[in-house]
Amino acid sequence: MVRIASVEGRAKLIVEDGSAAVDVAGASAGAFGPDPASLYDGWDEFRAWAGDALGEDGAAPFDSEPFDPARAGPPSPAPKQVFAVALNYVDHAAESGLRTPDDPLVFAKYVSAFSGPVTEVVLPEGHVDWECELVAVISRRAHRIDASDGWSHVAGLTVGQDISERVLQRSGPVPQFGLGKSHPGFAPSGPVLVTADEFDDPDDLALGCEVNGQTMQSARTADMIFPVPVLIAYLSRVVTLLPGDVIFTGTPPGVGMGRNPQVFLRPGDHLRSYVEGIGELHQRFVAGR
């Protein structure tokens, strides 16, 4: 039962129902951290230390400070690889006018688009849309692993938004997703990374988002066509997954592009995204210059 966050570049254990943060480097006398990215390189050791440090009741016998998500960065701030999955929910494929894929459809988001959970995002030209997603962070090197071992390669789960500019995403003779989904601030995640053992069933979590308080997406990760362990097995058939790698697992129905009439984000809009048991993202959109 471990929750971690990155606060101003330092790894923190999040305690007391999410309200307090313990500095990992301080509490571990320098054994782990302070760089959040470094935790994933020795995840099993860190996880064992954190479990012992927190004890059964999750109370940490260390100095803590209030946890302010607005000061947090992405839980995995420097992944070597960032994967995203298209059309991983049947009803999102339908609203996109596309057939359900036989195998996962994978594209990349670029890490320069990463941000923390509470941000202001400058709107580029085009049609900017929301995609609330469960995000998995990899805990150990993996090549050609079986889906039955998939969860054992996940450090934890967090909330992500795969913010997407649809005009560029769909331009050209063959759609190419990476650039249109990688403007600055288009990949917020956080506020915390939660280890999978914290959930009764990590394959069945409520997720969704609201724009200006109006529900746009509301679904469960159990509706994924390819669940997290299957995605890990599929990716690792080709690439070697590395500690700290990030997987955006796909969005449920309710994106703006799939609505009639279509709805896209405008200056002043507020986007709230959530995954059950993890927390919330808050994005405010402002006009481009």
Q: What minimum distance in Å lies between the beta carbon of 162 and Zn ion?
A: 3
Report, in Å, the least distance between residue 131 CB and Zn ion.
Answer: 4
Site residue total, Zn ion (CB under 5 A): 3
CB of residue 113 to Zn ion, shortest distance in Å: 12
Q: At its nearest, how many Å lie between Zn ion and the CB of residue 66? A: 32
Distance between CA atoms of 113 and 111, rounded to whole angstroms?
A: 5
In the complex with Zn ion, which residue's Cβ is closer, 162 or 210?
162
Select from 109-117, 165-173, 243-251, 257-265 the region that touches Zn ion (CB under 5 A): 243-251
CB nearer to Zn ion: pick between 20 and 111:
111
Q: List all residues 6 or more positions away from 210 whose beta carbon is below 8 Å from its beta carbon.
A: 216, 271, 272
Positions 105 through 164 that interact with Zn ion (CB under 5 A): 131, 162
Binding mask of the shown chain, residues 59 to 98, with x at each position contacting Zn ion by CB under 5 A: ----------------------------------------
165 makes contact with Zn ion (CB under 5 A): no
Q: Which is nearer to Zn ion, 28 or 249 (CB)?
A: 249
Residue 210 as a binder of Zn ion (CB under 5 A): the answer is: no
Q: Are 194 and 156 in contact (CB under 8 A)?
A: yes
State the nearest-atom distance from the C-beta of 64 to Zn ion, in Å.
35
Asked if 251 interacts with Zn ion (CB under 5 A), we say: yes
Q: Are strands 206-211 and 214-220 parallel, antiparallel or unpaired?
A: antiparallel
User: Shortest Cβ distance from residue 85 to Zn ion (Å)?
Assistant: 7
164 vs 195, beta carbon nearer Zn ion: 164
Give whichever of 46 and 186 is closer to Zn ion, judged by the CB atom: 186
Residues that bind Zn ion (CB under 5 A): 131, 162, 251
